[in-house]
Amino acid sequence: MTQAVKDVETLYKLMISQLRYDGLELVATSLAKCCNLDELPLAPCNRLLEVVKLGLAEEKSGREPDLMKHPGITPTSQPELQGLETSVKMGLDLEYEKDEFGTSPPVTQYETNYVTAHKGPVTAAAFTKDGRLCATGSVDTSIKILDISRMLAKAAQSKEERQAERDADDGNSMKNHPVIRTMYDHESCVNTLQFHPQSTILVSGGEDRRVNFFDYTKSTVKKAFKCITEVEPIRDISIHPTGEYILVATDHPTIRLYDINTSQCYISPMMDDQHQAPLTSVEYCPAANLYATASLDGSWKLWDGVSNRCVQTYKEAHDTAEVVSVRFTKNSKFVLTSGRDGTAKLWELSTGRVINTYGGAVLHNSNHCPAVFNFTEDFVLYPDDKNTSIGCWDSRTGEKLQSLTSGHNNSIRHLVHSSCTPAFLSCSEDYRCRFWYCRGS
């Protein structure tokens, strides 16, 4: 295939994605069939509009446009380390001072840019790998997918612009609405969400013991196209970076590994590898050679991602408290855990010791909210039920920094930060999810 033909095919793909983004599904489907692209899972996306806007702007200035950057949501690139061949960003590394590669904004510089409401407590959220879309899940069983650029555009509007938009409304109020999809296929609370790393699929896990797979390219389809049924409520999921496998943590001590294509289930052949109480969290490291699990038994475990065998158990990781979450750093050198004792801890995998403890938060007994890194891993974020604020710690020193007033009226049930942009979501018992963003960072 010549480059010219490839360029034309790329143009048609962008056109189809733009049409779906604008809600013109029939036109998009017709064009896809005409171009023999109907077999490809082309997600709704406004990249064509962004490229056109960039091209027109740069045409006036006489400069070549940078088509890989998207105003407002493209993060500043990090420097590459000489001699290191990796597609994973460097992330947190205690061998380097933070100032060597610049700093990211502390949590107090973030502002609420959009609030989406459910009919029950919001319990789960996720970002796509490229930071363009996010999703929220709730006790009301619904799942919403939101467009980041639309939320930012709404927040940037003046009162006059908002009024003019309402006055010009032709009856299609969803045309520029940030919520681009709403799905319903759970019978009870949605506990966990994750976007597929390779396909336009959103995966959810619920209290109804179902792991659902949604194709969000189809605007009229609100049900899952595939389901894995477990025997216990789903607490967490983690998809292998290749997209071929998924780890499922349930209200059972045994971790499950599923082949996504065949739904075949695998577990460790050694039952002594498993936890002694229900699981709370699971995550693959970026290289997928390891994964970690957390449990109500007070321990977290490190597993071999190939053999599915436990390689290390960290007992009483938070003294006698239950372990709520596990999160790898981008370089897979450290694991961040959080527990019911209101602390988060940073573990060095090479030595198995705790490097930093981030303390001072108060969690209610029913709260399973995880501690998370910001997108550069300079800071650790963790909620505080004492005043519904979001605490912030320096990840390298463990120093407690100024907290962010969340604006929520009840406990924060879930936090998730974009892996590539200064944006995060806070999900609360007050039926709302807030989208936070730091402009100009």
Concatenate the DSSP letters of all residues of 105-127 into one string. --GGG-EEEEEEE-SS-EEEEEE
pTM score: 0.79
Same domain, 308 and 368: yes
Q: Which DSSP category does 40 fall into?
A: S
284 neighbors 240 (Cβ within 8 angstroms): yes
Average pLDDT value for residue range 421-429: 96
H-assigned helices in 24-81: 25-34, 47-61
CATH of the domain at 47: 1.20.960.50
Range of weakest confidence among 161-165, 189-193, 289-293, 428-432? 161-165
Q: What is the pLDDT of residue 95?
A: 55
Within a domain: 84: no
**Any domain includes 380:** yes
Domain count, the chain: 2
Distances (CA, A) of 278 to 156, 174, 253, 254: 44, 41, 4, 8
Residue 41 sits in the same domain as residue 189: no
Q: Which two tokens stand for residue 321?
A: 């408290």
Cα 224 → chain centroid: 19
418 occurs within a structural domain: yes
Higher pLDDT, 342 or 281: 281
Same domain, 122 and 22: no
- Mean pLDDT within 29-43: 80
Tell me whether residue 97 is in a domain: no
Q: How far is CA 171 from the centre of its chain?
A: 33
Residues 178 and 43 in one domain: no
pLDDT digits (tens, 9 = 90+) for 340-399: 998 999 999 999 999 999 988 776 666 689 999 999 999 999 998 888 899 999 999 999
Residue 173 — very low, low, confident or very high, per pLDDT cuts 50/70/90? Answer: low
In a domain, 417, yes or no: yes
Residue count of the chain: 441
Instruction: Tell me, yes or no, whether 90 lies in a domain.
Output: no
Q: How confident is the model at residue 105 (pLDDT cuts 50, 70, 90)?
A: confident
Dihedral sign for Cα 355, 359, 361, 363, please: positive
* 91 domain residue, yes or no: no
Residues in CB range of 428: below 8 A, 6 or more apart: 121, 122, 388, 406, 408, 409, 410, 411, 412, 413, 434
Range in 31-35, 42-46, 167-171, 199-203 the model is least confident about: 167-171
Q: Band of the pLDDT at 65, cuts 50, 70, 90? A: very low
Mean pLDDT of 411-418: 96
For residue 285, give the CATH number of its domain.
2.130.10.10
Examine residue 68 and state whether it is found in any structural domain, yes or no.
no
Say if residue 130 is in the same domain as residue 44. Answer: no
Say if residue 47 is in the same domain as residue 192: no
118, 55: one domain = no
CA-angle at 103, arms to 425 and 349, nearest 5°: 75
d(CA 361, CA 390): 9
User: Same domain, yes or no, for 151 and 9?
Assistant: no
Co-location of 46 and 119 in the same domain: no
Does residue 294 sit in the same domain as residue 357?
Answer: yes
Q: In this model, does residue 111 exceed pLDDT 50?
A: yes
Same domain? 41 vs 182? no
pLDDT tens, position by position, 216-239: 998 889 999 999 999 999 999 999
40, 149: one domain = no
Distance CA 224, CA 184 (A): 8
The residue range of the domain holding 325 is 109-156+171-437
